[in-house]
Amino acid sequence: MKLCYQVATPDVAVAPSVTAFQGDLEHTFSRLAAIGYDGAELMTLNPAELDWNRVKHTAERYGLAIPLVCTGEIFGQLGLSFSHRDESIRRAAVDRVKEIIAFAGFLGANVNIGRVRGQYSDDIPKEQSYRWAVAALREISTSAEKENVKIALETVTLMQTNFINTLEEAVQLIQDVNHPSFGLMMDVFHLNLEEKNIYDAIWTYRKYNLHVHLADNNRRYPGHCGLDFLKIIQCFRNAGYDGAFSTEIFQIPDQERAAQGAMTHLGPILKKVYGRPCSPAALEVDLS
């Protein structure tokens, strides 16, 4: 078990909508390590603009694992997707994700697929959009296998996309792609909005799960609003999950206080449920 914080690499444009710590990686990694995080989930746009060795060695110097590279902003900031009507944009989306897969392989990380899968459009038959997405996912999964990388499909709320909102829909897509490198990830924010019962959903689809995103029900840091994270983390533990938990949250009121707030709430819960602290620097609070 590791508690990680999402970090945007310098190629990602600074924006309030970005759910990651932004800034110089040296400063970012040093702050997260000091707060007590075990790792950093990276969000990137263009790996060709990055010094891969510097990213890896800086993370290692601060004792931070990199479990996953997030692709969300190649849709959010570049508009690329697997189901776009324009073939050149679909091709660009696949090629960019392949570059991210190579970067992830170098770091020993997996890759998520969220908004980059795209959306259904009224003027394109759903079956066609679905076929485009399946073909793209098979292609990137084949590339991922060569890099020893897993692809983790993230369900996303209907408020952000109309394509793959529930875990049931995601697992059907996983079965249709039918590739050993293609699995599922669970984002608690989206599960809370789209699943009838978040705990039943975690248990039912546990065997497909590769990674977990944590955020409260207002997309702010866990503990800020209404979700019961002790019960949620216990559910993942009971389902046999012992991988990385990454925050994916709005940096409100600012990224320093968001990172500290998430650790203050999650650190003691993870220690209680998993029987060990996130890291020696993590805050210790008695929940008994």
Q: Supply the pLDDT for residue 279.
A: 57
Q: Supply the pLDDT for residue 277.
A: 65
Q: Supply the pLDDT for residue 197.
A: 97
Compute the mean pLDDT over every residue in the chain, rounded to the nearest whole number: 95
CA distance 114 to 72: 6
Domains detected in the chain: 2-274 (3.20.20.150)
- Tens digit of pLDDT per residue, the chain (288 long)? 999 999 999 999 999 999 999 999 999 999 999 999 999 999 999 999 999 999 999 999 999 999 999 999 999 999 999 999 999 999 999 999 999 999 999 999 999 999 999 999 999 999 999 999 999 999 999 999 999 999 999 999 999 999 999 999 999 999 999 999 999 999 999 999 999 999 999 999 999 999 999 999 999 999 999 999 999 999 999 999 999 999 999 999 999 999 999 999 999 999 999 986 665 554 443 443
Q: Supply the pLDDT for residue 150.
A: 99
Q: Which residue, among 91, 89, 93, 88, has the nearest Cα to 45 in the 3D structure?
A: 93
Q: Supply the pLDDT for residue 281.
A: 55
Q: Supply the pLDDT for residue 280.
A: 53
Q: Are 141 and 110 in contact (CB under 8 A)?
A: no
CA distance 144 to 102: 8
Q: What one-character-per-residue DSSP string does the chain give?
A: -EEEEEEE-TTSPP-TT--SB-S-HHHHHHHHHHHT-SEEEEE-S-GGGS-HHHHHHHHHHTT-B--EEE-HHHHHTT---TT-SSHHHHHHHHHHHHHHHHHHHHHT-EEEESGGG----TTS-HHHHHHHHHHHHHHHHHHHHHTT--EEEE---TTT-SS--SHHHHHHHHHHH--TTEEEEEEHHHHHHH-S-HHHHHHHTGGGEEEEEE--TTSS-TTSSS--HHHHHHHHHHTT--SEEEE-----S-HHHHHHHHHHHHHHHHHHHHSS-SSTTS------
Q: Supply the pLDDT for residue 118.
A: 96
